Amino acid sequence: MSTENKKKNVKKVTQSSKAKKASSNGAKTYRKKTNDTKSVNKSASKKYTKKPAKATKPEIKKPPIKIAFLGGLNEIGKNLTVFECENDIIILDCGMAFPDGDMLGVDLVIPDFSYIEQNKDRVKGIVITHGHEDHIGGLPYLLAKVNVPIYGTRLTVGLIENKLKEHSLDKVSLHAVDAGKSVKLGCFDVELIHVNHSIPDSVGVAIHSPAGTIVHTGDFKIDCTPMSGGMINLSRFAQLGDSSVLALLADSTNASRPGFTATEQTVADSFDTLFRRARHSRIIIATFASNISRVQQIINCAKKFDRKVAFSGRSMVNYMNVAKELGYIDVPENIIIDIDALKDYPMEKIVLVTTGSQGEPMSALSRMAYSDHRKVSVGAGDFIIISANPIPGNERTVGNVVDELLKRGCEVVHESMYEVHVSGHACQEELKILHSLVKPKYFIPVHGEQKHLRKHMDLALSLGMKRSDIFIGDIGKVVELSENEMKEVASVPAGKVFVDGLGVGDVGSIVLRDRKHLSQDGLIIIVASLDVYDGHVISGPDIVSRGFVYVRESEGLLDEVKQLSLDILEDCAHRNIHEWGAIKNKIKDEVAKLILQRTRRSPMILPILMEV
């Protein structure tokens, strides 16, 4: 075949291949179009053809959780909160409060435990956030009625154990739990979270329940340079916030204070300055017995300036013994001496750490101020530091103690003069940080008086929370929380129970009213003996006055009272009135009128009638 023919054949084959390829591409295009059309038709048919819906699992509704406040709201002290979910109850803290000036003769105030007693079979345990008296002081009185297990950190449990021994309660189940660990109590899983406060081993809690997670801060502040225990675990609060928190209950004590709470290190610097200033004096420092970190600072400073340290006050000695035994305080060898050994050392070599920073009448510092202390007499040459803020309501008693100390020639330094005390509670900026980390659905300010709670509410509102998602509670109030709503429900029994000596609850408002009456206007007792048959006076009436007038200077007035009482008794006998209640009321009313006219006073009048 010629070369020319070969080229023609190759050309034909090439053209034929191109034609086939084009034909194939056309088929593909046609098929694609056809498929697209089918797809459109299919999707169009979907629009008009209803298929049965797939069965979905029913959504499980979470149960609600109730929170009852039996103490710690609209007051300072006796903190006690009850959490209730799915028929299980747990209790957070059980504190006491100091009596105010109107509670004459009362030693301390505890919550009303009626609601807990009524539901004691449902209580799974008590969790304690830290070892201050306003959080553990009520435990002996509750455990005498309801014996349930107690959980807290090691120092907290040690302090509770010491307290229960004083009340002869040795059958209580105590459990030490480290911060970062959890405790399973019924349907609750309670997680302990390390926080900074004025006592080591303080915790907040995350209460994980079927209803959701509740975060309670306990008493806290953010201290980047604490004396012991490390900084507050902010990362854990942030993790909880990222995983959804149903409600936040937060400390409101310093909600009205702007900025940040100062670190404990500032107190150490102030002590250093004051110890130098008092180098020729005996130093006496009053602080809370539970402020173990503060006592550690005092011991460190005493060592630096070559002084011995002694403790005064039963609670101070008890706290220091527990802290030392558990390793929460570092005491150099031979620095602690017994209070009886004070006389063996020069005054400039002594530091005496004592209770009484709140001016309590029976405290060691008060007894020193009023020359009533058996082992310590104060005067010129004593340098006294009050290392605590007065609790609201105690300002006057603290002021009185300071005045008495100054009268005796002591030099007195207190919080407003130097930085000898910093608060253990968070100020506004710290509260904002915690709110922003936790990001709660609902918020309940706790631990404070009404002004503190309201200020904390304002702070939450400024961070974007709705007013409807904030609850301002009160003692006895109960709030119910769920995914969809927060509402107040029926209240529970709550109030104040007074402890007076060995009596618990036997002193009530009527007794206090009588005590107040007696303290203000005194007492008149009218004693008479009556004939059992006709009611006439056989002897008396005799008049006894106590706290009303000085008898020798008021004989005329008392003679008038005696004659009036006699006239009333004889008149009742003549009118055949023998009911003692009616006779006594007649004497009280008429004698009260006479005394009010003569003196403008209203003493308590107590008629005592005897039949002979």
| Active-site residue, selected from the candidate residues 425, 435, 447, 452 | 425
For residue 406, give the CATH number of its domain: 3.40.50.10710
Residue 522 burial (CB count, 10 A): 16
Among 393, 414, 435, which residue terminates a domain?
A: 414
DSSP 475: T
For residues 213 and 357, membership in a common domain is answered with no
Among 369, 388, 414, which residue terminates a domain?
A: 414
For residues 406 and 429, membership in a common domain is answered with no
Please say if 452 is a catalytic residue: no
Query: Are 313 and 363 spatial neighbours (Cβ–Cβ below 8 Å)?
Result: yes
For residues 353 and 488, membership in a common domain is answered with no
For residues 271 and 245, membership in a common domain is answered with no
In the chain, the number of structural domains is 3
For residues 273 and 405, membership in a common domain is answered with yes
Instruction: Tell me if residue 537 falls in helix, strand or coil.
Output: strand
Position 510 in a domain = no
For residues 255 and 181, membership in a common domain is answered with yes
For residues 233 and 321, membership in a common domain is answered with no
For residues 151 and 293, membership in a common domain is answered with no
Position 569 in a domain = yes
For residue 239, give the CATH number of its domain: 3.60.15.10
Position 33 in a domain = no
CA distance 92 to 83: 8
Among 414, 440, 474, which residue terminates a domain?
A: 414
- pLDDT for residue 2: 45
Please say if 425 is a catalytic residue: yes
Angle between helix axes 428-438 and 450-462 (nearest 10 degrees) is 60
- pLDDT for residue 234: 97
DSSP letters of 342-404? GGGS-GGGEEEEES-TT--TTSHHHHHHTT--SS----TTEEEEE-SPPPTT-HHHHHHHHHH
User: Is the full-model pTM beyond 0.95?
Assistant: no
Query: Are 156 and 229 spatial neighbours (Cβ–Cβ below 8 Å)?
Result: no
CA distance 588 to 595: 11
- pLDDT for residue 1: 46
Amino acid at 531: D
For residues 114 and 199, membership in a common domain is answered with yes
For residues 532 and 484, membership in a common domain is answered with no
For residue 599, give the CATH number of its domain: 3.10.20.580
For residues 71 and 204, membership in a common domain is answered with yes
DSSP 470: B
For residue 344, the enclosing domain spans 265-414
At 56-81, the pLDDT tens digits run 555 668 899 999 999 999 988 899 99
Q: Could you tell me which of 360, 424, 339, 415 has the C-alpha nearest to residue 384?
A: 415
Three-state SS letters, 1-60: CCHHHHHHHHHHHHHHHHHHHHHHHHHHHHHHHHHHHHHHHHHHHHHHCCCCCCCCCCCC
Q: Which residues of 219-245 are buried (b: 16+ CB within 10 A; e: fewer)?
A: bbbbbeebbebeebbeebbbebbeeeb
- pLDDT for residue 572: 86
Position 46 in a domain = no
Position 107 in a domain = yes
- pLDDT for residue 6: 43
Residues in the chain with pLDDT values less than 70:
1-60, 100-105, 392-393, 415-418, 501-503, 505-519, 549-553
At 476-535, the pLDDT tens digits run 999 999 988 999 999 999 988 887 766 676 566 666 666 666 667 788 888 888 877 777
| Active-site residue, selected from the candidate residues 251, 414, 435, 500 | 251
Position 540 in a domain = yes
For residues 491 and 357, membership in a common domain is answered with no
Position 48 in a domain = no
Position 566 in a domain = yes
